[in-house]
Amino acid sequence: MIGERRRISSGGPWEAAVGYSRAVVVGRRVLVSGTTDAGPDGRSLHPDDAGAQTRASFAIIARALREAGASLDDVVRTRMYVVDRADVADVTAVHGELFAIARPAATLVLVAGLIDPTLRVEVEVEAEAMIAGGAPA
């Protein structure tokens, strides 16, 4: 057994239906699911702006990390899935701004599409932090 598992929910309708959590905390690790800027209807809140989608996705991730007892500074890995090669510069500019200090291991993958055609970016992260009840460093 790896340790106690704590689930963090965003309250979104898909978590129960699909069987996933916004984030899962196990010991010092926080694993945050793929995150987009989708609104309640599943469509992007910033349909024509990959940079804004990226920023909004990381804001959602930051909230989940805070609830877990961590922050963006604790992120050790990011994965970014981008639909259009033309958006890479906007996506990586936001990533570079947010992670100038932490500089996690990062992967960016061009994909054929995401769950809704208005979504241009999906991001997931892994963090490791001193979390109350977690294993010591």
What CATH code is carried by the domain that includes residue 36?
3.30.1330.40
pLDDT of residue 3: 67
pLDDT of residue 22: 95
Which whole number is the average pLDDT over 118-136?
83
- Domain for residue 50, yes or no? yes
C-alpha span between 70 and 93 (Å, rounded): 23
Number of domains in the chain: 1
Which domain does 100 fall in, by range? Answer: 5-128
- Domain for residue 135, yes or no? no
- Domain for residue 112, yes or no? yes
- Domain for residue 121, yes or no? yes
**pLDDT over 90 (residue 13):** no
Q: What tens digit of pLDDT does each residue of 54-111 get?
A: 999 999 999 999 999 999 999 999 999 999 999 999 999 999 999 999 999 999 999 9
pLDDT of residue 14: 78
Q: Are strands 5-8 and 29-35 parallel, antiparallel or unpaired?
A: unpaired
- Domain for residue 134, yes or no? no
What is the average pLDDT score of the chain?
A: 92
